[in-house]
Amino acid sequence: MTEMLSATPENIARAAQVIHNGGLVAFPTETVYGLGADALNVQAVARIFAAKERPAADPLIVHLSGMEQIGSVARTIPPIAEKLAKTFWPGPLTLILPKQPAVPDAVTSGLDTVAVRVPDHPVALELIRVANRPIAAPSANRFGHTSPTTAYHVWDDLRGRVDIILDGGETSVGVESTVLDISTSPPRILRPGGITREMLEAVIGAVTVLRQQRTIEEGLPSPGLLKKHYAPHSEMVLFVGENARETLIEETRAAHKAGKRVGVLALDEDMEILKTTGAVVYRLGSDESSIARRLYAGMRWLDRQGVDVILCRSLSESGLGLAILDRLVRAASRVVT
Ligand code: TXA
Ligand code: MG
């Protein structure tokens, strides 16, 4: 049985008790909703993997209510981590740190490191504080699916599999936290997210970005090799490069003519012309923060419209654009250059 509750102080206290007793609580953060359990309870952590159908080899992020809790999960805090934490916590930055033995292998998939962050959301912070436990939480979606940015998204994916969903409205950032490995020199972004490369570099100097096999610069592998993640149910096609806008419009028209129900994740500047194509259009906005905030909701909304295919085009790789492009590339079954 899953209860969906508004995030009142009383309901947060109930949810904290559920965490304390080894149960599962989905809760809002500033990025996406998390599926939380007591990070120090092996059985509770196992329930997270079961609920999401997530492979055990994919480690979880441990959420803290503040720096003062960090000693319970991390063995040492290098000066650079301290500097980053002071600047960006609470916020969408996840740091990879040497782990305390008390953190179960289930959380870290047997790694000697643990991923840690302090979320910038009053409900998340209150839940962790009242539960008085570090909370392990991946995004609260079925494995491989689009991350949830509303409580209803969580309900769609995980009802019957989680004890409580705390409804705290829409999340504000919309894409996941930046995962940063500080064990290398220079530090390396493992997953681009809410704290941009530029923001990190302003504080600690040069930062590199781990390039997955699926980047535009290095050339894309053949479609069969693409591993879908953060993905809607419909097939998704991403247009990149100089002619992305023209190709997107052309292919939208062509697919519509061929009798397909076409969905488009649209930038504001493309809205007018897309109205003439017969497509079902979801408006993402014009600036990166709006696009990031609306991206996953848009994928889910188009899925619900029963479209056969979702088309979209990329924007710049600067700022939040890097995280947006990363998610689009991973969600796409085909990238057209
Ligand atoms: O914004 C977020 O980060 C959201 C909210 C709920 O906090 N959480 C989230 O968790 O996106 P998840 O499980 O979907 O993604 C966790 C990421 C994965 O890419 C995982 O590989 C990486 O963090 N990760 C976790 N532990 C790690 C470790 N010890 N070393 C390297 N990467 C790690
Ligand atoms: Mg996830």
Q: Which domains does the chain have, with CATH numbers?
A: 3-218 (3.90.870.10), 235-336 (3.40.50.11030)
Give the CA count within 13 Å in the CB-facing half-sphere of 260: 19
Indicate the top mutation candidate among 45, 61, 177, 210 to test ligand 1's pocket, ranked by most ligand atoms within 8 A of CB.
61
Cβ atoms of 137 and 37 closer than 8 Å:
yes
**C-alpha of residue 231 to centroid of ligand 2, in Å:** 11
248-284 tens-digit pLDDT: 999 999 999 999 999 999 999 999 999 999 999 999 9
Dist CA 181 CA 115 (whole Å): 9
Q: What pLDDT shows up at residue 230? A: 82
**C-alpha of residue 266 to centroid of ligand 1, in Å:** 28
Is the Cβ atom of 31 under 6 angstroms away from ligand 1?
Answer: yes
Dist CA 175 CA 243 (whole Å): 26
> Prior bond to 90 cis, omega within 30?
yes
Q: What pLDDT shows up at residue 221? A: 43
The radius of gyration of the chain from alpha carbons, rounded to an integer in Å, stands at 20
In the block, tokens 């953190």 appear at 103
Give Cβ neighbours of residue 318 (< 8 Å, ≥ 6 apart).
196, 198
Ligand with smallest separation from the Cα of 326: 1
Is the Cβ atom of 141 under 6 angstroms away from ligand 1?
Answer: no
Nearest atom of ligand 1 to the alpha carbon of 111 = 29
Is the Cβ atom of 34 under 6 angstroms away from ligand 1?
Answer: yes
Looking at the DSSP assignment, which residues form a beta bridge with residue 97? Answer: 114
49-77 tens-digit pLDDT: 999 999 999 999 999 999 999 999 999 99
Q: What pLDDT shows up at residue 219? A: 46
**C-alpha of residue 242 to centroid of ligand 2, in Å:** 31
Dist CA 190 CA 178 (whole Å): 8
34 φ, ψ to 5°? -110, 155
Largest CA distance in the chain: 60
Nearest CA to ligand 1 atom 7: 34
Q: What pLDDT shows up at residue 229? A: 80
Q: What pLDDT shows up at residue 227? A: 58
pLDDT in tens, the chain (337 residues): 999 999 999 999 999 999 999 999 999 999 999 999 999 999 999 999 999 999 999 999 999 999 999 999 999 999 999 999 999 999 999 999 999 999 999 999 999 999 999 999 999 999 999 999 999 999 999 999 999 999 999 999 999 999 999 999 999 999 999 999 999 999 999 999 999 999 999 999 999 999 864 444 444 444 444 457 888 889 999 999 999 999 999 999 999 999 999 999 999 999 999 999 999 999 999 999 999 999 999 999 999 999 999 999 988 899 999 999 999 999 999 999 8
Q: What pLDDT shows up at residue 159? A: 97
Q: What pLDDT shows up at residue 224? A: 41
**C-alpha of residue 52 to centroid of ligand 1, in Å:** 14
Q: 131: closest CA among 194, 177, 60, 72?
A: 72
